[in-house]
């Protein structure tokens, strides 16, 4: 092969990251999922600027007294319409459902995504380290996992609720993640234990590749599908556990809202005033769907054996 050809081939050599990006964008449904998620995120960020109303009922433009008075049902609950600016209708007291849904969406998206990323990362790192190194490290880490598993997480969150409610929702994210990663870590550990016996890991070890790199370059990519599926499930799970906490008054507290608290409130009158929960419920479904489509796409992009990513 000539020098020129060699150089040409060199230019075309892509790193694994570039290849994964290329394969991801070849997958139509994954791109659709990504688009939807971007749209939802944009809605969450830009939504407040689209309406004159605000979610905060204590503020001046939080409650619509006209809607409260003019309502045919008496006391708020006007149906969605563009004329009065209540795109998603109003609630029982005349609060704007659109503004509240957007607020809830912001909260839930942040909580869901952050918890999923935190808990899956902790699970991957702890599980892979324990499974790969074995011995004392494994014993110690698994002891921690077992300890956290037997602790009644809900009770602890409830007790700590005063503390995190005053110091912001970010602490809630950390706590939700801290009680969520253990089971995945155990699965990751057992997968790593079988992977470490494979020849390519052994080959890397004999090449002198440091442990940290073996874990990040070989072990974790080979469990990518497991981790991605776990991550996508965690998004929905985290949103739901936050809902549960909020319902009992330990999570996001009124007047602040999250998608979960909105759905919980709206389901009571689901058949008569569907707009109260339909939009928040719909957005929740759409969010989880978009995330799982992205998850599928990522899994296929990571997995060289899958059909959809090929044809290069």
Whether 242 contacts 172, CB under 8 Å: yes
- Supply the minimum distance, in Å, between the C-beta of residue 8 and other proteins: 8
- Cα–Cα distance for residue pair 280/283, rounded to 1 Å: 5
User: Which residue among 222, 234, 243, 292 contacts other proteins (CB under 8 A)?
Assistant: 222
The nearest distance, CB 16 to other proteins, in angstroms, is 6
Residue span 173-212 as binding mask against other proteins, x where in contact by CB under 8 A, dash where not: -------------------------xxx-xxx-xxxxx--
d(CA 2, CA 4) in angstroms, rounded, equals 5
Q: Which of residues 14 and 42 has its CB atom nearest to other proteins in the complex?
A: 14
| Cα–Cα dist 254/252, whole Å | 7
> How many other CB atoms sit within 10 Å of the CB of residue 156?
13
**Out of 174, 217, 248, 282, the residue judged to bind other proteins by CB under 8 A:** 217
221: contact with other proteins by CB under 8 A: yes
CB nearer to other proteins: pick between 60 and 199: 199
Q: Which three-class secondary structure state does DSSP give residue 90?
A: strand
Alpha-carbon separation of residue 274 from 79, 247, 267, 311 (angstroms): 9, 20, 8, 47
C-beta of 9 vs 159, nearer to other proteins = 9
Q: Please tell me whether residue 311 binds other proteins under the rule CB under 8 A.
A: no
Does residue number 144 form part of the binding site for other proteins (CB under 8 A)?
no
Task: Please report whether residue 4 would count as binding other proteins according to CB under 8 A.
Answer: no
Peptide bond into 255 cis (omega under 30): yes
134 touching other proteins, by CB under 8 A: no
Cβ distance to other proteins smaller for residue 58 or 307:
307
Q: At its nearest, how many Å lie between other proteins and the CB of residue 208?
A: 4
Judged by CB under 8 A, how many residues of this single chain contact other proteins?
Answer: 33
Return the residue matching tokens 């459902």: 97
The single residue among 86, 189, 218, 299 that binds other proteins, judged by CB under 8 A, is 218
| Tally of CB atoms within 10 A around 37 | 19
- Using DSSP's 3-state secondary structure scheme, residue 63 falls into strand
Residue 244, burial from CB neighbour count under 10 angstroms (0-12, 13-18, 19+)? middle
Q: How far is the CB of 246 from other proteins (least distance, A)?
A: 40
Q: Site residues for other proteins, window 12-51 (CB under 8 A)? A: 12-16, 19
Please give the Cα distance from 135 to 155 (Å, whole number). Answer: 33
**Four-CA torsion 122, 126, 132, 137, nearest 10 degrees:** 160
Could you tell me the smallest distance in angstroms from the CB atom of residue 158 to other proteins?
40
Q: Which is nearer to other proteins, 168 or 305 (CB)?
A: 305
Is residue 282 a contact point for other proteins (CB under 8 A)?
no
3: left (phi over 0), alpha (psi -120 to 50) or beta: alpha
Across the chain, which distance is largest between two alpha carbons, in Å?
84
Distance CA 100, CA 253 (A): 13
Closest to other proteins by CB, 172 vs 219, is 219
Q: Is 304 helix (H, G, I), strand (E, B) or coil?
A: coil
Sole binder of other proteins in the list 4, 6, 58, 150 (CB under 8 A): 6
* 3 lies in the site for other proteins, by CB under 8 A: no
Q: Which is nearer to other proteins, 30 or 109 (CB)?
A: 30
Residues that bind other proteins (CB under 8 A): 1, 6, 8-10, 12-16, 19, 198-200, 202-204, 206-210, 217-218, 221-222, 224, 302-305, 307, 312
């Amino acid at each position: 092969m000539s020098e020129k050809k060699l150089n040409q081939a060199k230019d075309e050599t892509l790193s694994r990251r570039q290849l994964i990006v290329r394969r991801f964008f070849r997958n139509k449904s994954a791109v659709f999922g990504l688009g939807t998620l971007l749209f939802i995120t944009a809605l969450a960020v830009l939504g407040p600027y689209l309406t004159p109303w605000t979610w905060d009922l204590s503020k001046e433009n939080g409650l619509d007294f006209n809607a409260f008075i003019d309502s045919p049902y008496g006391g708020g609950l006007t149906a969605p319409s563009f004329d009065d600016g209540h795109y998603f209708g109003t609630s029982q007291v005349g609060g704007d459902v659109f503004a509240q849904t957007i607020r809830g969406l912001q909260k839930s998206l942040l909580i869901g995504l952050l918890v999923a990323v935190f808990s899956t990362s902790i699970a991957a790192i702890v599980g892979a380290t324990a499974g790969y190194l074995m011995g004392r490290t494994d014993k110690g880490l698994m002891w921690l996992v077992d300890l956290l598993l037997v602790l009644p997480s809900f009770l602890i969150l409830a007790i700590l609720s005063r503390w995190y409610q005053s110091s912001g929702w970010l602490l809630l994210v950390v706590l939700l993640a801290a009680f969520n990663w253990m089971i995945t870590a155990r699965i990751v550990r057992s997968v790593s234990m079988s992977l470490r016996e494979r020849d390519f890991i052994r080959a890397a070890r004999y090449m002198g590749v440091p442990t940290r790199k073996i874990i990040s370059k070989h072990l974790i990519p080979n469990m990518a599908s497991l981790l991605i599926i776990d991550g996508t499930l965690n998004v929905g799970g985290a949103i739901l556990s936050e809902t549960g906490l909020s319902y009992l008054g330990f999570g996001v507290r009124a007047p602040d809202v999250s998608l979960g608290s909105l759905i919980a409130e709206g389901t009571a009158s689901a058949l008569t005033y569907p707009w109260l929960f339909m939009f928040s419920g719909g957005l929740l479904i759409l969010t989880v769907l978009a995330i799982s489509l992205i998850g599928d796409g990522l899994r296929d992009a990571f997995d060289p054996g899958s059909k959809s990513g090929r044809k290069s």
